[in-house]
Amino acid sequence: MGLLSGKTGLVLGVANDRSIAWAISQALYAEGAELAFTHLPGPSSERRVRRLVEPYAPKVLLPCDVQSDEHIALVLDAVRETYGGLDFLLHAIAFAPPQELRGPYLETSRAGWHLAMDISAYSLVAVSRAAVPLMTAGGSIVTVSYYGGEMVMPGYNVMGVCKAALEHSVRYLAWDLGRKNIRVNALSAGPMRTLSSAGISGFDEMLQHAARKSCMGRNVEFEELGKTGLYLLSHLSDGVTGETLHVDCGYHVVGL
């Protein structure tokens, strides 16, 4: 019996096999979880995600535009009809228009700022609101953040501001949902080479700097993020809520 045998989770944000969401999903599967997945609308996204999850035969794999409450409702309705309830939710979604990640933050457009904030931060609120009625026995909600929400990372721009809003949303949601025995936490990952990171100016330098500066002299591995996601989504972290847990080989504690 695994830690999550008999437990059901919903995963939003798997893009390919280099996704943090996929690393966590693999750790969840290894402990016996049943997982439902969403993917971005469109055939190419569906193909990529379906190819990854097919060996596990998920019962729910649906498109979801997190800017649409109707899309979110359809996904949660399918989860309810298929499983009857939900034990945990993994939110690993972020987006900013590529042009907003070039040049200074000062030049961020109004439209780009609103779009990035809607998808990267507000979507956690919207998805949590829809999931809570399915978590009748309590549950765990985890989102994925980055240190650029706490400190300036040149080139991260509007995404840093979105992560700051995301992390504070975690704290407010933890307060709102705590009496329902639903915990809400964030995993703040060190820089990872993912589909999203490809659009960040100077990302290679960011990786090299993080490895040099971190306590452990290296960057975090996908498997390590998976294990931490498992911890936050399982009963091992039953007393933990409202936290942003850094998994960055100690990068965030070094001031020099």
The DSSP result for 180-238, as a single string, is GTEEEEEEEEPP---TGGGGSTTHHHHHHHHHHHSTTSSPPPHHHHHHHHHHHHSGGGT
Q: How many Å apart are CA 111 and CA 131, to the nearest integer?
A: 28
Position 207 scores a pLDDT of: 77
Reported residue count of the chain is 256
Say if residue 201's pLDDT is above 70: no
- Residue 44 has which token pair? 């190419």
Higher-confidence position of 197 and 23: 23
Position 203 scores a pLDDT of: 66
Say if residue 28's pLDDT is above 80: yes
Position 13 scores a pLDDT of: 96
The CATH superfamily holding the domain 8-246 is NAD(P)-binding Rossmann-like Domain (3.40.50.720)
To the query of whether residue 56 is one of the catalytic residues in this protein, the response is no
Residue of 29, 83, 146, 147 marked catalytic:
146
To the query of whether residue 251 is one of the catalytic residues in this protein, the response is no
Neighbours of 57 (CB within 10 A): 7
Q: Cβ distance 252 to 147 under 8 Å? A: yes
Stretch 88-109: mean pLDDT: 95
Stretch 205-228: mean pLDDT: 91
| Dmax (CA) of the chain | 53
Q: How many Å apart are CA 230 and CA 5, to the nearest integer?
A: 13
- Residue 218 has which token pair? 């290296």
Say if residue 235's pLDDT is above 90: yes
Position 124 scores a pLDDT of: 98
Stretch 222-240: mean pLDDT: 97
Residue of 29, 83, 147, 156 marked catalytic:
156
